[in-house]
Structure 1
Amino acid sequence: MSEKKPSVLEGFKAFLLRGNVIDLAVAVVIGAAFTNIVNAVVKGVINPLVGAFGTKDLDAYSSCLKAPCEVVEGEMQGIQIMWGSVLGATLQFLITAAVVYFLMVLPMSKYLARRAAAQKAKEGVQETLEVTELEVLKEIRDALVAQRGSGATGSGGAYGPSGAPGSGEGR
């Protein structure tokens, strides 16, 4: 008999229904929305702050590598390096990284550290309880051994002097 191979569509369906694919899709959508927020902050706050010291837009900062750097009939003549655009993109990246680190990574790592410490403390309490129970059981054993030892020197108890059942005083 031959084994039935799963069809391509069944494999694709299983892939789509895995939880991590859904999580990834949600992360991409939230990341895109977050990027829009960061872009708005850079254009609405950072660019005007930089503009207070120079031009009003970071994209306007440039250097001319090969003259003449001027627009003639809608076309740039010469070679212009747009380092203001690079600076703006770098600021967007740094802001995004800072927000992700301080609002997501740092709180999550603190939470996981607290959770691990609580788990370790719980395991320590469990070990203490187990040790305490063990100590109590040892004390009970020692008390029973001591009690049995003192009973054997007397009348012999139920077992008699030889220690065998029925060999006691009843004979």
Structure 2
Amino acid sequence: MSEKKEPNLWEGFKAFLMRGNVVDLAVAVVIGAAFTNIVNAVVKGIISPVVGAIGTKNLDHYSYCLKDPCTGSGDTATGVRILWGSVLGATITFVITAAVVYFLMVLPMAKYLARQEARRKAKEGTQEVIEVSELEVLKEIRDALVAQRGSGHDRE
């Protein structure tokens, strides 16, 4: 009997790393991290100052005091403070991220893929017409040869 050799740990790990989806995921994480820096810069450099024109320039300063007295910050704070400005800032960051991803990545890629699909379908349609016409020509040639052969046998 032949013994099945089990792959060793290193071979299994190497096969796992060489799968396409693992590499794609790693690239997506790296690109996502770099993209996060861009979005954070847009929020910090453009959106926060625009919002700050209405109130404070730092959204983290927006808060509501549930239980007085709300004094101090960090570990020395007293009272119960709701930091709704932080939630607002995170929400704005999320909406901007989603908008940038959609309008600069998803929408153009969807349009590109739709154009590629339309080209592929048009090419397939052309090939079908060519194939049909070639088939018809071959049938006509066959019929002509059969007709010639039939008429040639009649002479003999």
Q: 1:47 to 1:133 in 2, by over 3 A?
A: same
C-alpha distance in 2 between matches for 1:121 and 1:38:
39
1:56 & 1:9 partners in 2: Cα distance? 54
Q: Counterparts of 1:40 and 1:109 in 2: how far apart (Å)?
A: 27
1:135 matched to 2:144? The reply is no
**1:149 positional shift:** 5.3
Partner residue of 2:40?
39
Q: Residues 1-171 of structure 1: matches in 2 within 5 Å?
A: 1-71=2-72, 75-148=76-149, 156-158=154-156
Higher helix share: 2
Structure with larger RCO (C-alpha < 8 A, sep 6+): 2
Report which stretch shifted further, 139-148 or 35-44.
139-148
Q: CA deviation at 1:147?
A: 4.2
Structural RMSD (CA): 2.2
Give the drift of 1:44.
1.7
What letter corresponds to residue 76 of structure 1 in structure 2?
A
Q: What is the Cα deviation at residue 151 of structure 1?
A: 5.1
Unmatched segments (≥5 aa) in structure 2: none
Describe the SS at the equivalent of 2:155: coil
Question: Matches of 1:34 and 1:13 in 2, distance apart?
Answer: 29
- Give identity over the alignment, percent: 72
User: CA distance change for structure 1 residues 82 and 134 in 2, over 3 Å: closer, same or farther?
Assistant: same
Helix, strand or coil: the match of 2:72? strand
Q: CA deviation at 1:35?
A: 1.0
SS at match of 1:79: strand
Greater CA radius of gyration, 1 or 2?
A: 1
CA distance in 2, matches of 1:73, 1:18: 47
Structure 1: 5+ residue stretches without partners: 159-171
Offset of residue 13 of structure 1: 1.9
